[in-house]
Chain A
């Protein structure tokens, strides 16, 4: 089967993995106040030496990336200069920053800081060990945004790949608990994907989870106070989604929608606009998924970081085959979509989502 090439044709997902805390007692999806600190043991997940001083989010990211590579991602099959990375974060290092600030301001000054963690004031250093471990010399891009950063990383990374900046791409998202007093616990864990041009994946006989196409936009939340602003959001979302669906081919059926939203007007209006676009297309047959289609806004809550959308994406691409649309929107105005197109054959997942939540 000949597969499309380039950003409009979508990129093949050949590896995916999650590293998440185990479910809270009683089967709850979230731990009140955040999970315990000991759910991840870097010695058993990464190795006995050399990882102790990495921030927790960097440890999670490394573990997820190893999982994605083991899942079949063939990033090691292209030259190092042609391997890119696009990472996402939001509050991943906020706890570390808070501790460092306390040390500088009140506990001995800057001389009390650990030289091992001092470089992480630049948040993108989160990915430096990952880049070293996987020889990611093509480029190292890091995007930050509340909620949508992981899908933006897919979008920007795919765009860079289509522009010829690399031949294979790691996309990752990682988060760690927010500092005490933040008002919310934040997210913990990491997600990783390996993306390749479909033709490259096909040429090496890789198992492909599906093709992904991502788009993002931003609407000014203040504008939604007026009818014209709300109409503008609807028109913008509709236009962006129409273009994304058109890229999947003429006559494409409406994908099964999955939503990661907060309780904001941006989220509610985005959902309504998406539903409106999908309603006029013939529906794809429903398929089981990890996220609940049709669930009311807030059922899959947008977290404080970049992780909720990344987890949703990995769960969709490693779930049963089907055409799905992941929609992420939040009160700060960021909106993103990923369209997942199935290839018509079941993915092979030798190291798939069963890794999720593995308590070591």
Chain B
């Protein structure tokens, strides 16, 4: 169980469009996006709000389509041709897809064909499409599903059961899910506003993030025998998926435990033990905009990072995308890879007033350059049912090479300044 695990390809579909380029452009633009109203005449609820992927057909297999698009981008990014992948090595290639709702549309009134179809068929569908013969797992640990999927991928590679795992998450519009979240009073009528003092819940979003997770040995073997053909930027190296931690709050079905003990444990497990936090240069939190969740995670980050919490930038991906459910950790990992590749943490979407109960550093004016030695990104994801996951993605080579510090990305203008209004910097 010692095999090094690397991420060699990433793919994304979000409300900002298809592809990781579109995602990075949105991250760097930091523009506010107001939620959509799904064109679903049967969505009888007070706040039918969701950030939709720009794809008008609500009836078709959206989650599968998003996952497939993200997967194909990830494979190309890794320099892998699906036709090659489906050859001799296909039995050593697995798929793990996390999703809260799977493919709900076909079973929801008026959107499908009647009858009932198993909703969790995303992994099998991808394996079928790509001609893979390894395991195909659908993971449904609510909004932490993508984190669990990546953890399973790590376990599969480290145990030697797979050389390559296409892992991530995908979720699409569900009338049932949105209705239930309305009933729980958990939808923000304005937009997804994590850490905002006036936040009022979350806003769900569609999306998919997929990553090519490989054994370092396998990756070295395939890249040493033929040139890379992918779309990854020149100079971009495989990233190390160095740790994934899981835990369970084992209590309330929807609320995190107030002491944050289990989410702290998951983070520490992902960080790899004492001292693991020292190299963290960015946190992509779970924070969805719910009052308790954001507060508990903020306190937990203080526990984990200690005094360093004041100068570790937190990047709120959900403020940009909304809450992508079972895909959120996977998209968090994709965003972490982009941060590492570009060597900087984009500025956050500006807050009106940061909640003083959430004293974390959310740079809002300028991007923050990743420093050498701090090229590790922590990604958190938590879900109903108490399912918690954290993961750490890192650029180990860059951390060892100070000259690689993102030369053209400008100064770390926010570093050293008081974080934001209301933050105990």
Contact = CB atoms under 8 A, between A and B. Distances in A.
B141 A124 contact: yes
Nearest to A163: B155
A121 B120 contact: no
Contacts of B128: 218, 220-222, 333
A165 B214 CA distance: 20
A122 interface: yes
A318 interface: no
Nearest to B134: A217
Interface stretch (B11-19, B384-392, B412-420): B384-392
Contact of B45 (A109, A127, A240): A109
A113 B135 contact: no
A137 B266 CA distance: 10
Nearest to B152: A156
B385 A100 contact: no
A136 B175 contact: no
Contacts of B156: 159
Interface in B148-189: 148, 151-152, 154-156, 158-159, 161, 174-184
Contacts of B42: 104-106
Contact of A111 (B46, B131, B139, B181): B46
A92 to B, nearest CB: 11
Nearest to B142: A122
Given A121-B180, A122-B143, A140-B387, A163 B248 contact: no
Nearest to B139: A143
Given A140-B385, A217-B133, A132 B246 contact: no
B373 to A, nearest CB: 27
Interface string A80-93: 11001100011100
Interface in A98-123: 98, 100-106, 108-111, 113-115, 118-123
A141 interface: yes
Nearest to A113: B183
Interface stretch (A21-29, A69-77, A176-184, A197-205): A176-184
B251 A132 contact: yes
A124 B137 contact: no
B108 interface: yes
B91 interface: yes
A106 B46 CA distance: 14
Contacts of A111: 45-46, 182-183
A177 to B, nearest CB: 11
A146 interface: yes
A97 interface: yes
A232 B133 contact: yes
Given A105-B109, A220-B128, A140 B141 contact: yes
Given A90-B118, A113-B179, A162 B136 contact: no
A104 B45 contact: yes
A80 B250 contact: yes
Interface string A152-178: 100110011011110000000000001
Interface in A221-270: 221-223, 232, 236, 239-240
A131 B248 contact: yes
Given A181-B114, A183-B116, A165 B246 contact: yes
A100 B247 contact: no
Contact size range, B = 35 or more
Contacts of B158: 163
Contacts of B133: 217-220, 232, 236
Contact of A159 (B43, B102, B152): B152
B98 to A, nearest CB: 10
A183 B116 CA distance: 7
A332 interface: yes
Contact of B184 (A115, A124, A236): A115
A139 B134 contact: no
Interface string A56-81: 00000000000000000000000011
Contact of B175 (A105, A179, A183): A105
A110 B180 contact: yes
Given A104-B45, A159-B155, A333-B128, A179 B116 contact: yes
B174 A162 contact: no
B246 A124 contact: no
B127 A220 contact: yes
Nearest to A96: B176
Contacts of A183: 115-116
A332 B253 CA distance: 32
B385 A122 contact: yes
A311 B53 CA distance: 41
A7 B1 CA distance: 11
A142 B124 CA distance: 16
Contacts of A216: 135-137
Nearest to B387: A140
Interface in B109-147: 109-110, 114-116, 118-121, 123-124, 127-128, 131-143, 145
B107 interface: yes
A144 B155 contact: no
28 contacts: A100-B176, A106-B42, A109-B179, A111-B46, A118-B181, A121-B179, A121-B181, A122-B143, A124-B141, A128-B385, A129-B253, A137-B247, A139-B148, A139-B248, A140-B141, A140-B248, A141-B246, A142-B387, A144-B119, A144-B140, A145-B124, A163-B159, A215-B135, A218-B95, A218-B124, A218-B133, A222-B128, A333-B128
Interface of B: 1, 42-46, 91, 95, 100-102, 104, 107-110, 114-116, 118-121, 123-124, 127-128, 131-143, 145, 148, 151-152, 154-156, 158-159, 161, 174-184, 246-254, 262, 265, 383-387
The 8 closest A-B pairs by CB, nearest first: A109-B44, A144-B120, A182-B116, A218-B136, A139-B246, A110-B45, A104-B179, A105-B42
Given A163-B155, A220-B131, 8 more contacts: A103-B179, A104-B44, A120-B180, A121-B176, A127-B385, A131-B248, A145-B124, A146-B121
